[in-house]
Amino acid sequence: MNIESYLSQTISAVVNQLFELSTTPESIVLQKTKKEFEGDYTLVTFPFIKAAKTTPENTGQIIGELLLKENANIINFNVVKGFLNFSLANSFWLNEFKEIASQPNYGIKKANSTGKQIMLEYSSPNTNKPLHLGHIRNNLLGFSVANIIQTQGHEVIKVNLINDRGIHICKSMIAWKLFGNGETPESTHEKGDHLVGKYYVAFDKEYKRQTAELETQGLTKEEAEKKAPIMLQTQEMLLKWEANDPETIELWKTMNNWVYKGFDVTYKKLGVTFDKLYYESNTYLLGKEIVQEGLAKNIFYKKENGSICIDLTTEGLDEKVVLRSDGTSVYITQDLGTAIERAKEFPKLNQMIYTVGNEQDYHFKVLFKCLEKLGYDWAKECFHLSYGMVELPEGKMKSREGTVVDADELIDGMVATAKETTEELGKVEGFTNEELETLYTTIGMGALKYFILKVDPKKKMMFDPKESIDFNGHTGPFIQYSHARIKSILRKFEKPTTQLIISDSIVLQPKEKELVKGLYDFSIALEESATLFNPAIVANYIYELTKLFNQFYNECPVLKEENETIKEFRIKLIETTASIMKNGMKCLGIEVPERM
């Protein structure tokens, strides 16, 4: 039962009866009663005072009295200024709990039941360096949003557009040719993406050395940067690649394959997957034909220098080049072509979502507007899932200078910290060595993922590894430990929980009722999170539910409860809580252990 819809229907009928209005349930403003007041839900009475021809307080009193008379589920009310607070009956909440407990996947709709198909792009790495902390936020955000959207019954196609071409890729290639002495991941025992990234850094170091030397010879900084031999060699290599030179293509394939194998290891550690991979080397030419079509339709225009542009100044944007004067594509050329190809490949697609950092906000505004002007109606359903940068206490990261936080090193460090913290707390008794290694990984990854996903994607965030692994804070390990605690209680219970029947005689204690209300909110959190593409809503919901469980457990004994009927109810209550905690964390890509 959707409680809000049920109450809105009841209230709209009452105010229409009282004040001869034609109010719809959708127009009723309901909110949960604040903790400092008595009640479950609160109605804002201000919209009805004109029709009631009295004060907000009197209006609330009149509505409350009729609600009490008309609806047996409403048992009392109070009015505070213009707010009517009312409470629902014990039997109402007990029945609500029975309904929730009867559904193993409460709040999660049947897979692909809506017929809506959504494509979600995330990761989009460059093949000249390993994944770093910024990529971790991107991957975790994209993967969790995909999971959450799926809970609403939509089909999600998870895709990764790999940036495997361009001048930046050639920088690593030329540095390897100059300084690599033929070394490979096998010969160095390095992950392939780390090896290639090392040469991207080596390029920058040599490039800076050469430009500094040219400046001492009298060249300006700009001239030196253009004439540095290593940059000229890189530009020549890019031309050879575009001309399909066999030797260049062979090196490009070899080094990219090193990187792909390295990425796969990192993706596995992160627990993220994709349904389809796209490669920029296959898509970067797709948009050229689209640009010519737009030119013929006068959507685009050619400038005197030969470049093709679109004027979006009337849309609050600027003039944008969509094809260079020499006929080469820019990023938006590729993105136009790729989007249109995807729409052709998946004709049932309802929406495309791009998970990309907020430095590309303007790019996606232009892209979507171009697609719209080209006549693609689905362009209005395209969405840029923009997110803020991740920083460390030490400051920003720079790939070319080698000051990034490597994803693999961070993951391994989180697992090591989880091990250290767990051992310090003495939570390692009764585990085999293999079970402990699994536990440390589960805790470490849970800490990393939760700390990142609990923050609204739009916000820039500071990642603090030590803070993320606190067993008592607003963290993944706190939720994981609470789940394991419930599982420990359930293991000590002597009956199969499937045989438990909740008695109608149960009178909910305040903390029991709060926990039931918290369980009900799971479906609301999922729906809101899916609508806003914001996993922080689910993450923070689970944390609040976990706090409610701990408050309940501190006040309401479970196994020590002498009344068997109450004990069985509480067992079912915490079992349902553990199930929702597990399903919620699963949406975030986080595992919860059975014991800790």
Phi (first) and psi of residue 95, to 5 degrees = -65, -35
| Amino acid residing at 50 | K
| Antiparallel, parallel or unpaired: β 301-302 and 319-323 | unpaired
Judged on CB neighbours under 10 Å (0-12, 13-18, 19+), 116 is middle
In this prediction, residue 596 carries a pLDDT of 87
- Total residue length of the chain: 596
- CB count, 10 Å around CB of 562? 7
**387, 455 in Cβ contact below 8 A?**
no
Nearest Cα neighbor of 135 from 405, 427, 321 is 405
Nearest Cα neighbor of 34 from 24, 19, 26, 44 is 44
CA-CA distances (angstroms) from residue 438 to 428, 468, 595? Answer: 12, 19, 12
In this prediction, residue 399 carries a pLDDT of 44
How many angstroms separate the CA atoms of 569 and 575, rounded? 10
**84, 63 in Cβ contact below 8 A?**
yes
How many angstroms separate the CA atoms of 282 and 345, rounded? 15
Nearest Cα neighbor of 596 from 460, 455, 418 is 418
Q: Residue 390 half-sphere exposure, CB side, CA atoms within 13 Å?
A: 26
How many angstroms separate the CA atoms of 469 and 510, rounded? 31
Q: Look at residue 350 and give its three-state secondary structure.
A: strand
Phi (first) and psi of residue 469, to 5 degrees = -105, 10
Phi (first) and psi of residue 214, to 5 degrees = -65, -35
How many angstroms separate the CA atoms of 420 and 190, rounded? 26
How many angstroms separate the CA atoms of 453 and 586, rounded? 12
Q: What is the 3-state secondary structure (H, E, C) of 7-76?
A: HHHHHHHHHHHHHCCCCCHHHCCEEECCCCCCCCEEEECHHHHHHHCCCHHHHHHHHHHHHHHHCCCEEE
Beta strand extents in 280-424 (DSSP E only): 301-302, 308-311, 319-323, 349-357, 383-387, 390-391
In terms of DSSP H, where are the helices of 74-126?
A: 90-101
Nearest Cα neighbor of 162 from 318, 279, 281 is 279
- CB count, 10 Å around CB of 389? 15
**331, 98 in Cβ contact below 8 A?**
no
| Antiparallel, parallel or unpaired: β 83-88 and 74-80 | antiparallel
Phi (first) and psi of residue 454, to 5 degrees = -75, -10
Global confidence as pTM: 0.93
Contacts of 12 (CB under 8 A, 6+ apart): 23, 24, 25, 27, 28
576 sits in which H/E element? helix 564-587
Give the chain's domains with CATH numbers: 3-88 (3.30.1360.70), 166-276 (no CATH), 413-587 (1.10.730.10)
232 sits in which H/E element? helix 229-242
DSSP for 416-479, please give it. Answer: HHHHHHHHHTT--TT--HHHHHHHHHHHHHHHHHHHHHTS-TTS-EE--HHHHT-TTSSSHHHH
**550, 484 in Cβ contact below 8 A?**
no
How many angstroms separate the CA atoms of 178 and 85, rounded? 75
Residue with tokens 């030329």: 174
Sign of CA dihedral 391, 545, 574, 97: negative
Going from the first residue of the chain to its last (596 residues), give the mean pLDDT of each consecutive group of 10, the final group possibly shorter.
91 96 94 95 95 95 96 96 96 97 96 97 96 95 98 98 95 97 97 97 96 96 96 96 96 98 97 97 91 95 95 95 90 94 96 97 97 96 96 58 76 93 83 94 97 96 86 94 96 89 96 98 98 98 98 97 96 98 98 94
